[in-house]
């Protein structure tokens, strides 16, 4: 007997109704969210009895929406590029996990005479549907809606049985190779809709805006005759005709002005929201409402650490609010259409959207041939399915003003099927632009898009100086397009670095219209073991193959806590720029359309980190793109040797939908007076009875010059340290895997040889050579200790020896203090961590924290927690006794409850255990962060190359 393996057809869908918009209406509906009966099988050939039976009391239950892997059936799996099945399209393995679902629902008696539709918002990856035992159809296209007409199958006024069989693998799998967890099931809502005879099944809103006149044009085309009402504009007309409005407020991400509209006829009323706006490429620039747009965007997968892609409305709104609070103005829906409610939120709150089709064939791409052998985008047999996927997205989402571009998909090479998708889209919706990145000729698109392009190449493109294409016509077309980075600033682990330099290029070159950070959130799934809770990544579920923690590359941690990278991005893209020049404050309005009248400007003045004056500036009314100058507030006189800092903040003057009055939008600091460091001297160096050395309260071992204690406080170290636990941008998947080279050179296993310990005048000088086994490269180090009236002064001189071919991870010293000393206060930058190429988000001040709270909980443990430009730091116990480190003039300090070796070895944060010591790294410098896990490495000016270096600091005890 031949088995119908419908899931392996090039176009598996059958019985699916034409795509239409997503909207609410007065027509009734039944939400089928909640518990369903469920059976899971490893193969797709289990019996079909459940399609005929009214109840499956012997089955388990599972919530809808959900993924079955997150409820104990099979396991999640993560790959970035590689398909987790053999590549033999459209066929898939016989071992094809399958979930059977069943539930009953009542159709009210008053639905008699109406069409009854069954709608699925998202099913991964292919499903067959039965109603009351009768087959309804098959759906595929996981992140796209499907509707079936079940009027003939349902029993009005009675209970009905719905049965669904879902397959994990299908022909659609070859089109859905997105960089995310492979998870299956009915993960979006299922609804039953009553469609009244004569109802309005679909409509298309055309709301154009003329920037030159400020007028709008509105036309709403429904499938059924109806009237259009927009009370605020005095409109109540027959739909389908064009209505001119003399003056409207346009919709933009900054001012998301929406007008309430209604379509109605005798049987149905549909409320919807209208945003007037225009999107066009003019003179090579992408303009919304006649103005150049700068996209300060993010790529957003749908993700929740407990529910996967079954994201709740509350989580969607949380995402949007966080984006707005962090100055983000745009979202690329990587790499599929999001839940439609998310687009409602983008309309309401104000975010530009690139809506991306559910298409990626990354596993087919090869270095030699970007189309790849058998790539679906180049095979005409796939064309109907690909065009249909584009159609279903556009039709569902066409009425959202937030969408300014349609994207064909992601990382699928180049091919004629993409051309067919573009042709259909341009015909259906000429009001928006079309985006796609992987065809570098830009043949089928309206913007030139690249990902992870270096700063140097962005500048070349900004100057229209990129290498010409062989085809002169294509080259002319591409040079006439605006440029965006659809992905950049790979936010994996500790990073990204270099965002400031990208933003400078976007603002310098009009053609470069911004980009979208990859990505919004770490895809860590909540997990736990005997060591505690953690977030799981690739390989944690025993996958046959996986791509590790490459799935954790977001600006948010999985629990939606902002990472340091998000705080840095907020600062880099802030829409108000404040600077201090002499006795003036210069305030530049970098908004696209907004005045500054929604902001209040406050100032504070701190001396040595303590506030001594504060106030509020006069309200400012600078138009977008203009600059105002304000007299600097009168400030107190700063005494000699003190450090004064003026901080000016731009905060919301009143409550906004996404933030309360006082929420900070932008800020700037200016140093008004700086400290002149004068180190005290005194305290002689002498040998004590027992043959050890005493210097200024410090006791040293005469054999190796090691500091043993300070004023009776035991210490370990300090000694030179050049290793850091590799950040993700240093590691093996990086474009520039520095950690591989570092380990080859033995930088993680340096040996310290003491060559000389001597007293010269009032100094104890300890000379060492630091090098790795089997290597000639070395660092010659001289520790120069001198005593102070109370404490010690250390100068560290470092001289490289040999042929160094790579930058160092860090350059500093490490010392240990008993674990009971776990309270930290400092005067320097904060409150968060900072690194050479990611430090815009920190400001100078006084801060305090526990050692535990200084740690940044990256999903994969790595270097973190460095506080930069530290003037002084105290590390004390709860009684206030401990040590004070004072830079000469500043140092960078990291305090950890575990060693760097422990941090390097850990694969999840819950593996880290605090020991008997807290470890203090006092650094002269660290190498930058870069974005090399999937982008350019560290810019040259932030690279730490071995060179002759000196740095110095004081050590004193406190609270004794």
Residues annotated as part of the active site: 411, 487
223 is written with which tokens?
A: 């499938």
* Assigned token pair, 745: 């050179």
The token duo for 827 is: 């005067």
Angle between helices 313-325 and 340-349 (to 10 degrees): 30
Cβ(769)–Cβ(753) below 8 Å = yes
State both tokens at 446: 């309206």
Assess contact for 777 and 804: CB atoms under 8 A.
yes
First-to-last CA distance in the chain? 88
**Each residue of 732-763: b (16+ CB within 10 Å) or e?**
ebbbbbbbeebeebbbbebeeeeeebebeebb
What is the rounded distance in angstroms from the CA atom of residue 790 to the CA atom of residue 713? 13
Distance CA(822)–CA(828), nearest Å, equals 18
Which residue from 171, 169, 174, 132 is spatially nearest to 151, judged by alpha carbons? 132
Ranges of H-type helices in 549-653: 564-572
Residue in the block written with tokens 């193959």: 545
* CB 830 within 8 Å of CB 538: no
Q: How far apart, in whole angstroms, are the C-alpha atoms of residue 392 and residue 13?
A: 13
Q: For the chain, what's the residue count? A: 960
Assess contact for 450 and 485: CB atoms under 8 A.
yes
CA gap 490, 932 in Å, rounded: 8
Q: Is 30 helix (H, G, I), strand (E, B) or coil?
A: strand
Query: Which residues, 6+ apart, have CB-to-CB distance to 592 below 8 Å?
Result: 252, 253, 254, 288, 291, 293, 294, 329, 624
Query: Residue 873: exposed, middle, or buried by beta-carbon count in 10 A (0-12, 13-18, 19+)?
Result: buried
- CB-based contact 129:138 (threshold 8 Å): yes
Q: Tokens in use for 30?
A: 């039944």
Element (H or E) spanning 428, and its range?
helix 416-428
Q: At what angle do helices 499-508 and 455-462 cross, to 10 degrees?
A: 0
Residue 814 tokens, joined: 């490490």
DSSP E strands in 776-916: the ranges are 778-788, 791-801, 810-818, 823-830, 843-850, 867-876, 882-896
In 10 A of CB 709, how many CB atoms?
14
Tell me if residue 270 falls in helix, strand or coil: strand
CB neighbours of 351 closer than 8 A, spacing ≥ 6?
253, 320, 323, 324, 328, 329, 330, 331, 345, 402
Report which secondary-structure segment, H or E, holds 645: strand 644-652
Bridge partners of residue 534, in order along the sequence: 527
Six token digits for residue 605: 């003045």
Crossing angle of helices 564-572 and 499-508, in 10° steps, is: 20
Give the single-character DSSP code of 748: G
- C-alpha distances (whole Å) from 120 to each of 19, 33, 36, 752, 768 are 12, 11, 15, 65, 70
Rounded distance, CA 81 to CA 75, Å?
19
Closest CA to 315 of 78, 558, 517: 558
CA 639 to CA 675: how far, in whole Å? 9
């Amino acid at each position: 007997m031949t088995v119908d393996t419908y899931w392996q057809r090039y176009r598996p869908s059958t019985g699916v109704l034409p795509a239409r918009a997503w909207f609410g209406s007065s027509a009734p509906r039944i939400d089928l969210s909640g518990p369903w009966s469920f059976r899971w099988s490893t193969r797709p050939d289990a019996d079909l009895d459940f399609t005929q039976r009214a109840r499956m009391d012997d089955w388990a239950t599972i919530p809808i929406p959900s993924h079955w892997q997150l409820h104990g059936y099979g396991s999640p799996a993560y790959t970035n590029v590689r398909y987790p099945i053999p590549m033999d399209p459209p066929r898939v393995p016989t071992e094809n996990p399958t979930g059977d679902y069943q539930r009953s629902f009542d159709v009210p008696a008053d639905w008699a005479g109406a069409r009854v539709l069954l709608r699925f918002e998202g099913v991964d990856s292919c499903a067959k549907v039965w109603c009351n035992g009768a087959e309804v159809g098959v759906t595929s296209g996981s992140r796209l809606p499907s509707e079936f007409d079940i009027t003939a199958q349902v029993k009005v006024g009675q209970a009905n049985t719905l049965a669904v069989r879902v397959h994990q693998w299908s022909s659609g799998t070859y089109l859905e190779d997105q960089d995310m967890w492979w998870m299956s099931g009915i993960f979006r809502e299922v609804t039953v809709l009553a469609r009244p005879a004569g109802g309005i099944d679909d409509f298309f809103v055309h709301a154009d805006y003329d920037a030159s006149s400020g007028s709008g044009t509105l036309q709403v085309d429904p499938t059924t005759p109806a009237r259009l009402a927009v009370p605020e504009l005095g409109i109540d007309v027959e739909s389908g005709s064009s209505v001119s409005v003399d003056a409207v407020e346009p919709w933009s991400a900054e001012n998301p002005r929406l007008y309430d509209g209604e379509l109605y006829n005798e049987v149905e009323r549909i409320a919807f929201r209208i945003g007037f706006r225009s999107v066009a490429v003019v003179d090579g620039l992408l303009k919304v409402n006649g103005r150049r747009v700068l996209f300060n965007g993010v790529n957003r997968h749908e993700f929740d650490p407990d529910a996967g892609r079954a994201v709740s409305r509350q989580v969607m709104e949380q995402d949007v609010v966080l984006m707005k609070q962090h100055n983000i103005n745009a979202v690329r829906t990587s790499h599929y259409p999001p839940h439609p409610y998310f687009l409602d939120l983008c309309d309401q709150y104000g975010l530009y959207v690139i809506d991306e089709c559910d298409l990626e064939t990354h596993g087919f791409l090869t270095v030699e041939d970007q189309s790849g052998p058998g790539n679906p985008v180049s095979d005409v047999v796939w064309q109907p399915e690909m065009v249909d996927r584009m159609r279903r997205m556009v039709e569902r989402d066409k009425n959202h003003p937030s969408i300014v571009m349609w994207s064909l998909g992601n990382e699928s090479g180049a091919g004629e099927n993409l051309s067919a998708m573009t042709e259909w889209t341009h015909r259906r919706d000429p009001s928006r632009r079309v985006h796609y990145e992987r065809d570098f000729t830009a043949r089928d698109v309206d913007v030139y898009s690249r990902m992870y392009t270096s700063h140097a190449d962005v500048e070349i493109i900004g100057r229209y100086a990129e290498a010409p294409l062989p085809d002169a016509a294509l080259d002319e077309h591409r040079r006439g397009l605006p440029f965006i980075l659809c992905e950049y600033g790979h936010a994996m682990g500790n990073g990204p670095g270099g965002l400031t330099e990208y933003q400078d290029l976007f603002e310098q070159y009009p053609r470069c219209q911004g980009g979208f950070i990859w990505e919004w959130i770490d895809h860590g799934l909540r997990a736990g073991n005997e060591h505690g809770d953690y977030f799981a990544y690739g390989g944690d579920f025993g996958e046959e193959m996986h791509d590790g923690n490459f799935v954790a590359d977001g600006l948010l941690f999985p629990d939606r806590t902002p990472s340091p990278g998000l705080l840095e991005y907020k600062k880099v893209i802030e829409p108000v720029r404040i600077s201090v020049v002499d006795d003036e404050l210069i305030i530049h309005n970098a908004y696209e359309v907004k005045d500054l009248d929604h902001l209040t400007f406050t100032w504070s003045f701190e001396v040595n980190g303590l506030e001594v004056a504060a106030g509020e500036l006069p309200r400012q009314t600078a138009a977008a793109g203009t600059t105002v100058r304000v007299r600097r507030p009168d400030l107190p006189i700063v005494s000699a040797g003190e450090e004064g800092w003026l901080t000016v903040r731009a905060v919301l003057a009143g409550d906004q939908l996404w933030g309360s009055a006082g929420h900070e939008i932008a800020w700037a600091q200016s140093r008004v007076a700086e400290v002149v460091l004068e180190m005290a001297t005194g305290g002689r160096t002498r040998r004590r009875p027992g043959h050890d050395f005493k210097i200024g309260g410090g006791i040293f071992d005469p054999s190796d010059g090691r500091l043993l204690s300070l004023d009776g406080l035991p210490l370990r170290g300090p000694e030179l340290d050049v290793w850091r636990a590799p950040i993700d941008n240093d590691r093996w998947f990086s474009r520039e895997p520095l950690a591989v080279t570092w380990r080859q050179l033995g930088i993680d296993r340096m040996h310290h040889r003491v060559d000389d310990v001597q007293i010269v005048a009032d100094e104890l000088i300890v000379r060492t050579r630091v090098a790795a086994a089997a290597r000639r490269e070395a660092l010659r180090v001289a520790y120069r200790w001198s005593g102070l009236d109370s404490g010690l002064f250390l100068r560290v001189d470092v001289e490289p020896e040999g042929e160094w071919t790579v930058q160092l991870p860090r350059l500093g010293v490490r010392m240990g203090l008993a674990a009971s000393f776990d309270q930290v206060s400092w005067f320097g930058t904060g409150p968060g961590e900072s690194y050479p190429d990611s430090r815009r988000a920190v400001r100078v001040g006084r801060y305090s924290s526990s050692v535990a709270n200084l740690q940044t909980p990256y999903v994969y443990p790595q270097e973190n927690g460095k506080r930069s430009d530290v003037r002084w730091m105290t590390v004390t116990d709860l009684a206030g006794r401990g040590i004070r480190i004072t830079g000469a003039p500043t140092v960078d300090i990291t305090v950890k409850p575990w060693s760097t070796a422990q941090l390097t070895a850990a694969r999840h944060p819950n593996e880290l255990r605090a020991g008997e010591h807290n470890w203090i790294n006092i650094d002269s410098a660290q190498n930058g962060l870069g974005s090399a896990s999937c982008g350019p490495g560290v810019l040259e000016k932030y690279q730490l190359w071995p060179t002759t270096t000196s740095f110095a600091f004081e050590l004193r005890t406190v609270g004794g």
